[in-house]
Structure 1
Amino acid sequence: MSFSDIMYPFEWIVAWIMYLWHSGLTAIGLPEANGWTWTLSIVGLVLVMRAALIPLFVKQIHASRKMQLIQPEMQKIQKKYKGKKDPESQQKMQQEMMSLYRETGTNPLASCMPILIQSPFFFGLFRVLNGLDEMANGSKQQIGPLTSELAAQAESSTIFGAKLSDIFLGADSVNVMIVTVVLIILMSATTFTTQHQLMRKNMPAAALEGPFAQQQKIMLYLFPIIFAVSGVNFPIGVLIYWFTTNLWTMLQQFYVIRRMPAPGSAAEKAMHERRRKAGKPLDTPEERREREHDVEMAEELAEKGVISRQRAQPKGKKRAKKSGSKTTQPAPRDGGGSTAATGGGSD
């Protein structure tokens, strides 16, 4: 099976989503041959893709919380092999790290899953836009509903004087270069902002130490370089897709950090401070359930001997029922040791 055969189903899905958005936009009065109509169709493709990934994003939040629970054990392993640079010691450290991940069901690469799942559709869009001229002249078979007429229409449509299928390399217009550079800058800025706010606001101090945190810091500055190098090879329509999905990620991350911050992070302290000033309870029923879930995860990992109990852990509802004891509600971690009032409320 060739690469084209593998990619065709993704190209077909991309073509249909863009076609349906384009049809809907023209139905409400937008010009069908206008570049902005096709641009909004690409934005619509992003909205569909990212909305479908929301359940995965929720799982990703739970995975990151579990990673925070095992941070003390990771630091113990790192301390055990501190200063030992020989290959045998490094291999043993990696083996113990992988064993810890396996026993706890954690995955340090969980944050990459949305990107990996999107990748086939990203390259599907690249191939669709790259083949518009061939579909328009009939030398390439149409993909899904993209007939030769529609392909010609999309291929010739422009924004700011640049075609959606134009590429920076080999561009014969200053407009193409300017639009490409602006999109690459926007892509880099949104990615940097997302990662920067995550590290500064939504990670406890312990999570900012160790090789994994160092890797995150490196990626913070490496991604803009990757965008600059690779962006000049992609059609403008693909860069629009890329920027839009980065913007979605940034806004989604901002919402999560503000409303569901990581325990012990600066964002959690800021949220509790806002609630104190507004006279609201420091936690909501949803947050108490989430904290209870964290406690149960910690208990399960401690019972397996994967992590040690640093202090007495309050029991979650499920374990309280099993043992016949009364459930103990933990106090929220608000940075000041105060106990939140009970009841609902939101930030």
Structure 2
Amino acid sequence: MDQRRLILFLVFSFSLVMLWEGWIKHNNPAPAVQATTAAGAAADGSVPTPSVGLAASQSAVPGGQAATATAPRVVVETDLLRAEVSAEGGDIVRLELKQHQASGESDANFVLLDDGSVRHQYFAQSGLIGEGLPTHKTLFALPASELALKDGEDQVELRLQAPEQNGLQATKVMRFQRGSYLIDVSYEINNGSGQAIAPHAYFQLTRDGNPAEQVEAFGVNTFTGPAFFTDAEKFQKVHFDDITEGKAKFVKNASDGWVAMVQHYFVSAWLPEQGAQREYFARPLGNNLFSAGLIMPVASIEPGAQATVGSRLYAGPQEQDKLEGIAPGLDLVVDYGWLTVIAAPLFWVLSWLHKLTGNWGWAIILVTVLLKIIFFPLSAASYKSMAKMRVLGPRLQRMKELYGNDKAKMQQEMMNLYRTEKINPLGGCLPILVQIPVFIALYWVLLGSVEMRHAPWLGWIQDLSAKDPYFILPIIMGASMLIQMKLNPTPPDPIQAKVMMAMPIVFTFMFLWFPSGLVLYWVVNNILSIAQQWQITRMIESAKPGSKDA
């Protein structure tokens, strides 16, 4: 077995093993999820306690004990959002994104924050820490009717009044903007007591530990969990298991940054002002619920004085062209892993081509053509090497007949032949080896870019991030791969020849579950490769002996 084919076979085999392992995990039964109720977050979500380092009141007094599921709610609706705010804590317990459809449902909005009625328990909570101040368990007074952003308005404001205690009056104010997924959340604190107070404010995201969406390609799951960012420590992801086991590592105190809850395609994040001191935390609440958030000190409020403290909340899609402008480092929630150096520029080129064509499918085709042009010299050298190998096929077969029982002698004569004819036996592997990182990077671009979610191409392809519903592209890919095999020189070893001919079938089966955008890339790449390889092979086989082409 010559070295070129051995390396090619090992690359294919490694890919097959990795994908097969993913397929096995996909078909294993999912672990049983502990039963939880919509009130679980409220029942177990005790008020966080600031550390001594923040140097302020350490008291943490929970408010009313009403359950989130039964507490009254008010609806706030904008052009992009439909939010349900609970009287308990003034928490956002349900948030629909009106510009994004639910998976597999064409007539339903995607639900990001959820009270458990759709799939998850996921809340945006906040409160104050201090004697007589409202927490995320306090019952607020709601307006009589729902609020909606009217024509000509740029903002709608929701004001929630907390019960007065010991002369302290707090109002939670939430401002929703037109054309934005940002929500301004603040507290207006009036100190009507007879003494100065130094409270804290906390802002947290409470979520169950279940993955958001399962990608159809062999059960691959993207990261779901808290993430922290500061200028010093940069982006830090935290796994739910590490929180449970007390092994979570992230920045604890800083004067900048944010905390987020990341899931596939979407993110929610508390984004306080830069320069304000804060303490980050992540903790398990039991019943498969977790909270991640931050605590901020409020300057001392003298008797009769008023103070305001707040933070912005982003809850929406991971739109890469907008996240960086919202907060430093927020674009890092779109995580391409170790191939970011390739995937990020690749997405930028795809986005630019999408602006020209208006369609992500055509953008994928054009980026495939561009990549083929960039790697043209390498591909041409490789196909020339394979074409020469094809021409030398009869001579290699004769060597096998002459030295079939002497493997060492046969290898020696083959290497002498390659040296004489100036053929690189490994040349045919180079295009595939170069394509592998590009292929994986494009896979993660399709997997992690919300812009590709539910993006149609044409005809039956209505979601480039999902598998081909009729498996047409994978079948075309398999046929194109078979044609490529026919253009290659036939291996002298019969067993190796059978293995190589089985590859199109094996890869067709694997590609059935890959995102259709990725299969489209591979189909176009194969078609261009076939045209290039056919032309080079025709030129070399028809060239006269002694000519430049020969």
Q: State the TM-score, normalized to the length of structure 1.
A: 0.52
* Alpha-carbon distance in 2 for matches of 1:119, 1:177: 25
Distance 2:377 2:478 in 1: 26
Q: How does 1:78-89 map to 2 (within 5 A)?
A: 78-82=400-404, 84=405, 89=406
- Given candidates 5, 8, 22, the residue that maps to 2:354 is 22
2:452 matched to 1:154? yes
1:254-298 CA-partner distances (Å, limit 9, x unpaired): 44455x251xxxxx4xxxxxxxxxxxxxxxxxx67x843367xxx
Counterpart position of 1:177: 469
Q: Which residue number corresponds to residue 113 of structure 1?
A: 430
1:165 alignment partner, SS class: coil
> For 1:70 and 1:255, how far apart are their aligned partners in 2?
18
Q: 1:292: which partner in 2?
A: 547
Listed one character per residue, the Cα deviations across residues 233-271 of structure 1 (whole Å, up to 9, x for unaligned) are 42111111111111212233344455x251xxxxx4xxx
What is aligned with 2:20? none
Structure 2 gaps of 5+ residues are 1-334
Query: 1:225 deviation in Å?
Result: 1.4
Higher normalized helix content (fraction of residues): 1
SS in 1 for 2:548: helix
CA contact (8 A) 1:155 1:164 kept: yes
Q: Which has the higher strand share?
A: 2
CA RMSD of aligned residues (A): 3.4
Distance 1:104 1:161 in 2: 47
Distance 1:164 1:75 in 2: 45
Q: CA deviation at 1:209?
A: 7.5
Distance 1:251 1:191 in 2: 12
Are the structure 2 counterparts of residues 69 and 250 from structure 1 closer, same or farther at C-alpha, using a change threshold of 3 Å? closer
1:163 aligns with 2:453: no
* In the alignment, structure 1 residue 227 sits paired with structure 2 residue 517: no
Q: Structure 1 residues 13, 92: closer, same or farther in 2, change over 3 A?
A: farther
Q: 1:215 to 1:108 in 2, by over 3 A?
A: farther
Partner SS state of residue 424, structure 2? coil
Q: Structure 1: which amino acid aligns with 2:504?
A: P
1:254-333, aligned counterparts within 5 Å? 254-257=534-537, 260-262=539-541, 268=542, 291-293=546-548
Deviation of residue 74 (structure 1)? 3.9
Equivalence for 1:137 = none
Deviations along 1:142-192, one digit per CA (max 9) or x if unpaired, are xxxxxxxxx3x331323436421114xxxxxxxx531xx111111111222
- 2:425 corresponds to which letter in structure 1? P
For residue 11 of structure 1, what is the amino acid of its counterpart? A
User: Structure 2 CA distance, aligned partners of 1:253 and 1:155?
Assistant: 34
Structure 2: distance between partners of 1:242 and 1:189: 12
Aligned to 2:475, what secondary structure does the other structure show?
Answer: helix
**Aligned-partner Cα distance in 2 for 1:68–1:107:** 13
User: What SS does the corresponding residue of 1:292 show, helix, strand or coil?
Assistant: coil
Q: TM-score, normalised by structure 2?
A: 0.34
**Per-residue displacement from partner, 1:78-121 (whole Å, max 9, x unpaired)?**
23432x3xxxx435544554565467653333223212211111
The letter of the residue matching 2:374 is A
Secondary structure of the structure 2 residue equivalent to 1:293: coil
Determine the C-alpha separation between the residues in 2 that align with 1:233 and 1:214: 29
For residues 481 and 387 of structure 2, the distance between their equivalents in structure 1, rounded to whole angstroms, comes to 22
Higher-Rg structure is 2
Aligned pair in 2 of structure 1 residues 291, 218: CA closer, same or farther (>3 Å)? farther
Letter in 1 for 2:340: Y
Q: 1:214 to 1:51 in 2, by over 3 A?
A: farther
Partner of 1:125: 442
Which 10-residue stretch deviates more, 101-110 or 155-164? 101-110
**In the superposition, relative to structure 1, how do residues 246 and 55 fare at CA in structure 2: closer, same or farther (>3 Å)?**
same
TM-superposition CA deviations, 1:198-251 (whole Å, max 9, x none): 26xxxxxxx75733x8745642x3132122232134211111111111121223
Cα pair 1:49 1:118 within 8 Å, conserved: no
In structure 1, C-alpha distance between the alignment counterparts of 2:390 and 2:484, rounded to whole Å: 19
1:251 aligns with 2:531: yes
Distance 1:68 1:240 in 2: 29
Identical residues among aligned pairs (%): 28
**CA 1:256–1:217 in structure 2 vs 1: closer, same or farther (change >3 Å)?**
farther
Return the alpha-carbon distance in structure 1 between the equivalents of residues 472 and 361 of structure 2.
15
Q: Distance in 2 between matches of 1:65 and 1:162?
A: 39
Which amino acid in structure 1 is aligned with residue 371 of structure 2?
M
2:464–2:515: 8 Å Cα contact kept in structure 1? yes
